[in-house]
Structure 1
Amino acid sequence: MSILRCEGLVKVYPGGKRAVDGVSFDVNPGEIVGLLGPNGAGKSTTFRMACGLAAPTEGKVFLNGKDVTRWPMYKRARHGMGYLPQDQSIFTKLTVEQNLIAILEYLPFSRKERLFRTDKLLDQFGLVKLRGQIASTLSGGERRRLEIARCLSSEPKIILLDEPFTGID
């Protein structure tokens, strides 16, 4: 059974602009799948529909065999979906450490487990010395590393990466 299945996704914006027209794909355990295309082809819109940030005009999204088309993003995240958008997604007024803890607070972990995971991610992504720094003061590469760490913090079963290496230093 596929982890993620998208069937016939269509997105038509007000005014009639068709951003995505009938995209279907499956992602099976252990697979790495890429969406390739020129700027404006609808790759990011497809990701946004798959993760729950945008509702498809037509089509269905299944996560582990369950129809999640109408589920909000947070519910999909609780069922194992991670998403790293191409645009900045950190809380700029929080510290690096607070950015990680904020994501983990929505998951069923003890305080001790949240702190353990936070320390581990700070170390893995070279952010230990920046843990108390306000996120808005980070370089572009430091921000991106923090965003990737946040995405991985919940140990998702599948991760949708939209331009994951943008801004990496």
Structure 2
Amino acid sequence: MIRAENLVKKYNKLLAVNDISLKIEKGEVVGLLGPNGAGKTTTFYMIVGLTKPTSGSIYKDNVNITRFPIHKRASLGIGYLAQEPSVFRKLNVYENLSLILSVSGKKVDKNKIRSVLDEFGISNIARKRCELLSGGEARKVEIARSVILDPDFLLLDEPFSGIDPKSVSEMIEMIFNLKKIGIGVLLTDHNVRDALKIIDRAYIISNGSILFSGSPREMTEHMDVRKEFLGNDFSL
């Protein structure tokens, strides 16, 4: 489990995040959602390890990781997929997977690489240089590169951003498959409608605090969520 307890983030006198607590279990997909400027991105980055909380704690199982940098969190099984493209553009797809195993100190297992290529439907582009990939293909490679390290959790920043509708559908299917193999997923995305197709639970952040936590159905029926975030005309 990843759990955050009483997270606070202040920028000088500005209180960006105020006493947020949440948890993610293995094998579930959790959405961290809310209006722009509400504090969701700051909260997400504190869990990722990009932003240090002013106070509060973050745990992976029973290990306090609040002050751990991203690479140390990765060694404990927490993967992170940034919104910005992160593939090694001059290398091909196969080399991307091979290199990430190597730099992570893991055995470069050709059979494992082939298995992950097959699992993500990218065997046909294994020898294609990543600078030539479409946005959707690059996203697949990025997730495959994370999964090959056998994480317990993946933190996905705007996974539906910058890809076409077909690729969004494929991304949703990939996230379902991550859940099936027991990986816990925390995602934040502005594409609320597609996020709600995949998440089991949502935390809605508004004015730096948790406005709501619960299922997508409960979320869409919550009057304060509709008022602050979704709008009265929103429906699944």
Bin of the TM-score, shorter chain as denominator length: 0.7 to 0.9
Task: Tell me which residue corresponds to 2:158.
Answer: 163
Q: Which moved more, 1:37-46 or 1:78-87?
A: 37-46
Task: Tell me which residue corresponds to 2:99.
Answer: 102
Please report how far the alpha carbon of residue 108 of structure 1 lies from its aligned counterpart in structure 2 after TM superposition. Answer: 4.6
Counterparts of 2:90 and 2:129, CA distance in 1: 6
1:3-152 to structure 2, matched below 5 A, reads 3-13=1-11, 16-111=13-108, 113=109, 115-152=110-147
Higher relative contact order (CA 8 A, sep 6+): 2
3-state SS of paired residue (2:4): strand
3-state SS of paired residue (2:74): helix
Q: TM-score w.r.t. structure 2 length?
A: 0.62
Please report how far the alpha carbon of residue 17 of structure 1 lies from its aligned counterpart in structure 2 after TM superposition. Answer: 4.8
2:90 maps to amino acid: K
Please, which runs of 5 or more residues in structure 1 have no aligned partner?
Answer: none
Please report how far the alpha carbon of residue 156 of structure 1 lies from its aligned counterpart in structure 2 after TM superposition. Answer: 0.9
Counterparts of 1:140 and 1:67, CA distance in 2: 36
Please report how far the alpha carbon of residue 16 of structure 1 lies from its aligned counterpart in structure 2 after TM superposition. Answer: 4.9
Q: TM-score w.r.t. structure 1 length?
A: 0.84
Please report how far the alpha carbon of residue 18 of structure 1 lies from its aligned counterpart in structure 2 after TM superposition. Answer: 4.2
Give the structure with higher Rg (CA). Answer: 2
Please report how far the alpha carbon of residue 5 of structure 1 lies from its aligned counterpart in structure 2 after TM superposition. Answer: 0.9
Contact 2:101–2:107 (8 Å) recurs in 1? no
3-state SS of paired residue (2:85): coil
- Quote the sequence identity (%): 44
Query: Which structure carries more strand by proportion?
Result: 2
* Residues paired across the two proteins, number: 164
Please, which runs of 5 or more residues in structure 2 have no aligned partner?
Answer: 168-236
**CA, structure 1 residues 27+141, in 2 after alignment: closer, same or farther (shift >3 Å)?**
same
Counterparts of 1:49 and 1:83, CA distance in 2: 12
Cα offsets for 1:103-130 (capped at 9, x unmatched): 212445323x2x2222112222222222
